[in-house]
Structure 1
């Protein structure tokens, strides 16, 4: 299978879905959520076989930076599509869909490194929970950006444009905290399964991921405690969410990017 044509078509479909949803947000076109989902689903159907091929070509059972990125993006796209059937989170696709397409194209062009490990049910649980935690919290980060934009617009009495297209601020914040709750549960499962099933969870090459993941867990937990104990909301919730997600990005991709892309090791 030639990966590049699949990746290119998927990229076009993802971008088309993001553009339409973005134009809907700015009230340039009528909402067509069914069409946006269809475009994204078609992109995902082309995305998945490319990921399967890339994972199969990895020299070890732990995929490298580019394959990991496109795998996590596929999970995130799937999560946002399913969640959008029940919650108003499809606007997250404005950023998520193009990022998924870019990651997919990059994975077909850049070299893929991999690490060797034995795949056991415990390690599989750790890998799945880690991927889902990252996907849900990445969506939460995009939701936080939208909440921040909406909050600032309302604060300056700008009630046209994007504010008119988004759900009420209280609904947006409720969805944000629901995403954080789901993400922290999955992140807890990821960290716990890593401690139990990975013999070298605190080894040199995993130390940074372990520490940063724990710091992200502390940030998200503090946010949830602040929300229900002190009523934290608005820009404070946005900043804490983005801070936690930033640490997770560094945890998942920091060393992989430096070693595989910058140093080519």
Structure 2
């Protein structure tokens, strides 16, 4: 079994509470902080001790099945799913568009910001044009008001043309995400990254995830990610 497959298996032995934990469990730098939520109530599940735990356990709220999951176990599972999702993606898979866009924003923020500004300007001009046409159909530019339509129409066309020229001039941001599409390279990139970069890498493709409460002592002792975790993958609509 390859390293990537081992990560992605989703089933690993988990020390019971009280066993020695060798990994740093600093809750402020955990990889899934702000991504993970309780499946039963959809509340956040921040780090508490060595586990991600439903916020309802802190009092003041009720959850019928508050989730708590050992941090290294669920993190290992999510990393495996992330590796598997990207390295098995078809070149035409929309998620690669999202990943490339987010990787560009992460590694080339200035260029990406310029493109986003141009896109926003074009979108605003298009929206203004639609409003003008809609108002005209409603009769708001009839009679004495007719003289105001042509200047407004010329202004919005100038804005749209300027935005298009700016967007064309930027040429787009060229990024290489091939290293995330090949299993060994992706795993090497993950293992070489520090905690901050690992958090960013996961968020290239993952929007959030929920974890369900373990139903039995056996479930708590032997974490099964496929049964307990649901991952929400990023879509092009969120770019």
Give the TM-score band, short-chain normalised. under 0.3
Q: Max radius of gyration: which structure?
A: 2
Higher relative contact order at CA 8 Å, sep ≥6: structure 1 or structure 2? 2
TM-score (norm 2): 0.27
TM-score (norm 1): 0.25
Return the structure number with greater strand share: 2
